[in-house]
Structures are given as structure tokens and as C-alpha cells.
Amino acid sequence: MAEQQQGTGIRVEALAPEFQAQAVAWAERLGLPLVDEAAEFAVQVGGEGLQIQQLGPQAPGPVRVDFVEGQAAHRRLYGGGNGQMIAKAVGIAQGVRPQVLDATAGLGKDAFVLASLGCQMTLIERQPLIAALLEDGLARAHGDAEVGAIVARMRLLTGNAIERMRAWEGEAPQVIYLDPMFPHRDKSALVKKEMRVFRPLVGDDLDAPALLEAALALASHRVVVKRPRKAPIIEGPKPSHSLEGKSSRYDIYPKKALKG
């Protein structure tokens, strides 16, 4: 079994001896080797939690989920609150905080923004490594005095979002939010560190039409799709309208009005 896993191109490593037991546990859970000299990526366990590091001379820095400091903290404090375009897109208004399913969670940035504005969030992430980063980031944030209450509104599910939505049990989410990985046309999409790491691991969401179809069948009130500003709409029903920003837009597919 170990021989088959050598070809994954990803190994798990501890950044210090005291994290070796955690590294072994993650390696077993993710089905990855602890030793692979030819690996292109390393899942690293250290004092700042779990991270993915691309290996090689031109590699960018590590990617991890941090809801407490850095970009997430700045956006939480200075991002514009309910005036943000994403807030308007999902229907946040006076007395209205919809229950939202983010079916393409990624590193959870958009879900965290919506949770910080008061929405109950369910997240689905299908790529096991990204889901592991997200789980680790949520676990660390739970212990923070300010952020703990926000991440308490975030519930993480793993697996294929299309299958999860088709087999959904219980109350349907009011709003489903989709941000499919968009096929890149040029190298500008690779500039961001996360993109350089994600593309080889995740690839493009070529099943976006099926994702939209499943979301439209499940959501009780609306579906919101985030797209690059000039990208075509996802194949399928047309959105009723869009909110457009500098680099991205939100295509909105309403089913019924959200009320407080």
C-alpha cells in the first residue's frame, strides 16, 4: 500500500519533534506517506497548525487557514460589514440573516465573512487536504475569545458537494453559495500563493453546471454564484441579475424572497 502512495506527490512532515505524533495521525487519516523524496508538496504540522507547503526553489510560502489573524481579521474589522457585496448577494438585510450553505468552501474565507455578519453557515469541501486545513483552522479559532463565537456558526462537511446536496436530509439551506474554481486563461491566476498551491491539487470545477443544478434544486430561497467579473455565466438557467465589483461578480438566482 505504501508503494502505491509514493506517487501522490505529497508527503506529511512534522516541523519539530513534538509534532511527530500529530504528523503520523494526519498521514494515516489522509492516506499519505511520511517519506517521499520526490514529493512536490508537504503537509506540515507545526506550532501554527496545519499547512501545505509547495516544495522546490521557486515555491511560495505555506498555505494555512487562520481565522484569528492576518487577512481574515482585517476583513472582519474593516471589510465593510453588511455593506459588502457578498452580504448583499446572499440577502443580508435589516433583521435578515439567512442560513447559508457554502458548497465550495475552499479556505473558508467567504464563509467566515458571512458567519461574522451573523449567518449560520454550513461548509462543504471535497478536496481532503483543503478540508483538513479548514478543520484545523476552525479548531484553532474556537479557542479565541473574539473569533470563537463566529466559527461556532460554521459547520464543516466533507465530500462531493453535488452528491451531498442531492442526498440532503433535514431543513434545506435558504441560500446556497457557489464559487467554483474557474479555468484560468493566463498566468495572472497563478500569482496568488493559494492558487499556485491549489491548482495542482484541486484542478478546475468542470462540473460547475451540475453543481448549479443541484444547488437550485435544494436551496429554498436563492442561489448565489461568484464568478470572475468577465467570465461567462455557468451553463444552465440564467441568473435574474448580478452584482459586479472590480474583479468579481455575484450571479443571483432567486427562488423566493428572504424575510426577517
Binding-site positions for S-adenosyl-L-methionine read: 125-126, 179
Residue 239 forms beta bridges with which residues?
none
Q: Which three cell numbers stand for residue 117?
A: 455578519
Q: Which three cell numbers stand for residue 64?
A: 494555512
Residues in contact with 221: Cβ distance below 8 Å, sequence separation at least 6, in sequence order: 91, 98, 174, 175, 254, 255, 256, 257, 258
Going by C-alpha positions, the residue among 100, 156, 85 that lies closest to residue 127 is 156
C-beta neighbour count of 247 within 10 angstroms? 8
> Which residues make up each annotated binding site?
125-126, 179
b or e along 105-131 (b: 16 or more beta carbons within 10 Å of the residue's beta carbon)? bbbbbbbbbbbbbebbbbbbbbbebbb
Return the SS3 of 251: strand
Task: Determine the Cα–Cα distance for residues 237 and 195; give it in Å rounded to an integer.
Answer: 29
Task: Determine the Cα–Cα distance for residues 129 and 52; give it in Å rounded to an integer.
Answer: 8
